[in-house]
Amino acid sequence: MINIKDTLISSDLLESKFCCDLESCKGACCVKGTSGAPLNDEEIEILPKIINRIKPFLRKECVEIIEKVGTHVIDEENEAVTPLNNGLECVYVVFEGVIAKCGIEKAYLDGCIHFRKPVSCHLYPIRIRKYNQFIAVNYDRWDICDPARVYGEKIDLSLYDFVKDALIRRFDKDWYKNLKIAAKQILKKDS
């Protein structure tokens, strides 16, 4: 573990290679699991304000679910998350052929909104958990991401570089700069 400001970062985040391979995984992280994507307080406020601009990008049955339950729900762990479509994929998922993508992000890329997508999705496979004294930054290893690890090794892309924009979005540029310095020091020791 390394410490930057009020965060504790798992060293495997620094040592791992990773790059999403949507052709192999088909966007499974948006489809599998028992709960929707975690949402922070700001996102809980933003989504209802922009949902009407996102709806045209979503599937009809998912719009109906959002209209019934809202833009977020509370899961079994008492956390705010995106709703699921009949216990399956996130209601914000759209499919391009067989590949799951984010309808929120599609609206963002189309210039309809200024919110890219929930930061938890942008960060994945990094997971953030707040505690009283610190924020834990961990690498969530899930077998559906095996192709991303293989591809990351093949192109020699560090996990923390893969999620660079999301880490800067969640923390800031100085935090990320310190992470890169720590990674170089740790990897230098290991070699």
117-162 pLDDT, tens digit each: 999 999 999 999 999 999 999 999 999 999 999 999 999 999 999 9
Q: What is the pTM of this model?
A: 0.90
Do both 108 and 160 map to the same domain? no
Domain, as residue range, for 55:
26-117
Same domain, 56 and 108: yes
User: Are 103 and 54 found together in one domain?
Assistant: yes
Which of the residues in the chain have pLDDT under 50?
Answer: none
| Statement to judge: residues 186 and 106 lie in one domain | no
Q: What are phi and psi of 84, to 5 degrees?
A: -110, 155
Q: How far apart are CA 159 and CA 139, in angstroms?
A: 9
161 and 111 belong to one structural domain: no
Q: How many domains does the chain have?
A: 2
Domain final residue pick, 117, 151, 183: 117
